[in-house]
Structure 1
Amino acid sequence: MNLYEKKIVKNVKITAFSLRVLSVVHEARMCHGLRHKDYQLYRQYCSRRIRRIRKRFDFRQGDKKFKKKDMHADAIKDEKLLELPLLLSERCWAYAMQLKEESMQDPRKKYALRNKLRKAATHSVSFEQIVEGCHRCDARTQLEVQGYSAWLQGTVLFELAEWTQQWDAPVAFFTKAIAVYSKLSEAVNEEEASIISGLLSELEVQMRYCRHHLGDQAATISLLAMTNNTALGEKLNVLVSLAREKQASTLSEVTWKNRTMAVKHEKVRMFLIAEGESSSGGGKSRGGQDRVDQYDRLLMECKDAIALVRDDLNTDPSFKSRQQTSSGAVSSGHFLYTYLCYLRLSLTLQRNLAMTSNYTAIISGAMQPPKGSKMPREQDVVRLYDLCIQSLTETRLLSGLEDDLELKQENDAKVTFFKAMRCFHVGESYAKQEKWAEALVLYDRTAERITEAKAIPELQESDRASLASASDKLISLTCTAKAEVLLSLSSTPQQVTPTHLAKKPLSERLDEYVEDQCLLNHTNPRVLTMPPAASPVPCKPLFFDLALNHIGFPSLDHKLPVKGAEAASPASAGEANKPDQPGGLSGLVKGLWGWGSKK
């Protein structure tokens, strides 16, 4: 190279290649199928994208006959070519995840799954080597590629560990990926930092799962507390089930209200363990709809447990008789049934309270309603408080708890609290309908109930805080209701009814418009004069044809000819040939309609 050529090389500005691996991968996955867990759609996108890149940069592997063309660092002439090894890794990984889902119906696809996982790891290693060998790639690209390669290799080994049982292999790669992405999160914008944060949380969960298989008890305990985490998929559910089965094998009896009861059925043991985990804090850490869903699952398990215990008690003759009475001895098995019913009512109460907090947050605007669900109303909150009061009422009627004074006092305090909150939300519902007079009365009643509830010493501190918050809101709401009532009264002028029209009914003054308050009275409106005044009415003329039947006609027998004279008289010869004619009006009527004629 001569001096002139050296000067040209020095004057050429070499641009650095940059590839935001994490952003490119996240955007491609969310836009092409993985938002809905469609791995086949994402794999097809990767194949199309690879074909376009090869065609654009003339990096095709033969026209008619396949000729493999390997990627290397010197072949990278454009930063877009860096996407090619990345997409090759993504395509193999997506194909492996697709085969993983299909292997649930066809177990033979597990062999292809392992091969695709190993091929994805090979492509990620090759991608890292290409970027390290290419000196034109900037430092951030090299760092992101190292983190991506470590994450993908660790993920592949994590999936293969189900068959190899080498749970220590992915830990090293996960540790490297966590270190790289933790360092990278300090130098990116807010959007990329949120993506890295989500990836780091998944990596930590996977590492704890690996350590759980390696015998770390602390990792096992932390995993059991992550019942709502989806990073492990079904693996976490299997882990929780195995842990509960192990605990259930040692649980043979339960103690409640100073009574120890034997637990025979495994399903009952599993439910008691799950309920104990929920009450110890597993369910309290959740929020929103997740907590309601957890209570629904526990209620289904509780229903099955109650059915098993009830089937055993049906053979006990004292069970049904004791259920119908409110006094008497309760056997150990019957008291276990009472305990399960108590847990069912308690879980129902907690579920309704969780739904109440969700509804009030949505109504106040602090939380958005779930997609596809309708907006809750104040009437829904009132209904939930009614169900809470009903649950507490049913708790008092359980067999063996009728004489429990402490439970009765706690329930009475809770009922008073729920009635106060229910009255408050009923007033809110009337205020939403602009019925301010009714709302004002209910607000006054709410203040009385709040005062009554605060005077109960057994009331919990959390309930006292809720009452204090409702009392603070009640002051402004009462002022608003009073103002609205006064405004409505002042905006409707009162028209005085004239004295001469005050006693006239509406039917007598239809041509005069006067606002008569008596017409608004539904019990005795003044519309007509009742009873109406009597007036003469002409009678209908009477004429009946049957009156002729009662008329007496004179006898005409003396004018009829004698029979002997008829035969002798020639004048009557023609008349003798005539038929006998009936006489009178009755004969005419009979002949007219055929009545009385001889056939």
Structure 2
Amino acid sequence: MSVLSLDILSTVKKCQLQNGVRHDDYQRYRQYCTRRLKRIRNNGAVEFSHRGQRGKYEKNELTVEMCKNPLFLLIPLMNAERAWGYAMQLKQDNEINGEDLRRTAHMIRRLSKAAKWASKLSDLCSVLGDDRTVLQAEAYSAWMNGNFLLEKDELKEALPLFSQSKEVYTQLSKVSTLEQKELMEEKLENLELVIMYCTRYLSREGTNSQELADMISRSKDSTGLIQSKLAKVMADSMKVQAHEGFEVKLLERAIPVRNEATALLLLSADGNIKTLDSLTSSVEDLGDKEWEKIDNLFVDTFSKYDDAARNVRNDINKADANAASSDIPQEHVVEELKLLRTYVKIQKLDKVIRRNTLLSERLEKQYEDQMEKRLEADIESKLPVTENKKGENKSTKQRQMSPQDLQRMFEKISLNISNQLDLVKEAAKETSASAEKLEFKLDIEQNLVEAKKNFYEAKNFAAAKKWQEALNAYEQAFDSAQEILEGEGRNVFDEKQVEDVVQFQKNAGVGKRLAQARVFLARTRSGTNDEIDNEVESDYVGRPLRERLEENEIGEIVETPPALVSVPARPIMFDLAFNRMQSPDFSNRTKNSPSKVSGSEQQSGWLRNAARGWFGSGN
């Protein structure tokens, strides 16, 4: 069974533009589809008709066994387009002449028929078509079924279909020709409008954002079934590009890649880099699964560059052997191959630096989060334990990050940049081209990496209480950052990177002041005459803390939070005001104790109280 190929989107667009759709004349278009179907059935290469004995109509089902050439695929396509054109004509009549329920029902039936024929086309292409035809048929079927559900106001079911169609066209546009890419971009604009309408309408009707996300994720999951087909289409496109001719640029010099296998490997590596660009747009929001996918892409890219370098090395050996065994000069070919080998090495090192840089950013974030959690744990340990916290398990199995890990990572990045700089200088000599800007950029990047390495080396010394070594490392990091910000190196980075360098300089300054204070305290307590930095002595000796509050950055001066102390639960105000208050005279109301008065006094007191009871209080 032969594989059939049909460019569905181009065929449909061409028929629509030439037969009235650009002028919204859908009646003309559906009549054209009818005539086109008749011509296809009358074609000698197509043995398919509904004519039975004596000219009577007999329904004939189109099967896979019947389809022997691409004309058979046009039968369901033209049937779908004819039914769609009729539905658009009825919808246009409703808009012009007013809403008619009978006409609306007829329109929905036509769209249902168009969706059935589109599904039939997709089923035939899935068995007979090549990969590109299968993907276009699936996108076309999803779009037509989505239109049918949209007119029935079943937007929840229509949204995943439109999203699936958009995803397929988006992926196909990356591996299509310029003409096909323009058609797909136009189709994508229409799909985005429909998806936006469905999303906003569902939100207004009370569908929450989680349900919308689930619908779109279902459509994305369905496209996962066609990822292998998309990979095949992309691979075929790369093969065509590699066969037609492919060249790379090294310091503005074009180097042709004559080996088709090498060109295919380099194109595949470029495809991986484009995928990485889309995945690493927001590094902070990436989870473990995304990082694993990114790392696998980097590993695959490195292997492709290794295979390409192996192919180039073999080509150089063959060229040298041919030069030794023949009189044909091979110096030019060998020179191009050597430049290509240098290009492959530079590209691989560049991607290694990018991977290590992304990894260092992730490790830095993990280290900062770890320090915050440790600070919270220290604060909680000083608070009283409540009943809810007694049963908590604070043990974690996550590996603790140390400054030494980050120091080693930045050492690797610095070594990679140094190797790349050597290769660039070597390439500049071989190509006689200027590489001053690139060399300057690499020097600045290496200085920044060295500064970060010194910063975490200082943290490592500080953890070991080696304050003098920590002070020296902090000073190197601070001076390197200041040199970058004050010199021309600032122009190498964008605004966000410059802000990161400024923040890094502030952190290095804080660490530097803390180390200075620790060194000074160690010298003061020990009473030794060890040499100390003059800056530390001049800044702190003989100056009280009150005079240098604004410049003091030594960290915590007092314990935070302070220890809890029990206080009396009575107002302090009365304690302070008691000595200044004049209390009234209550002697006339004071009762004498029975043990301290005589019997006659008790009797007179009894008579006096009785008289008060008869004649009043007497006050």
Q: TM-score, normalised by structure 2?
A: 0.43
Structure number with greater CO (CA < 8 Å, separation at least 6) is 2
Q: TM-score, normalised by structure 1?
A: 0.44
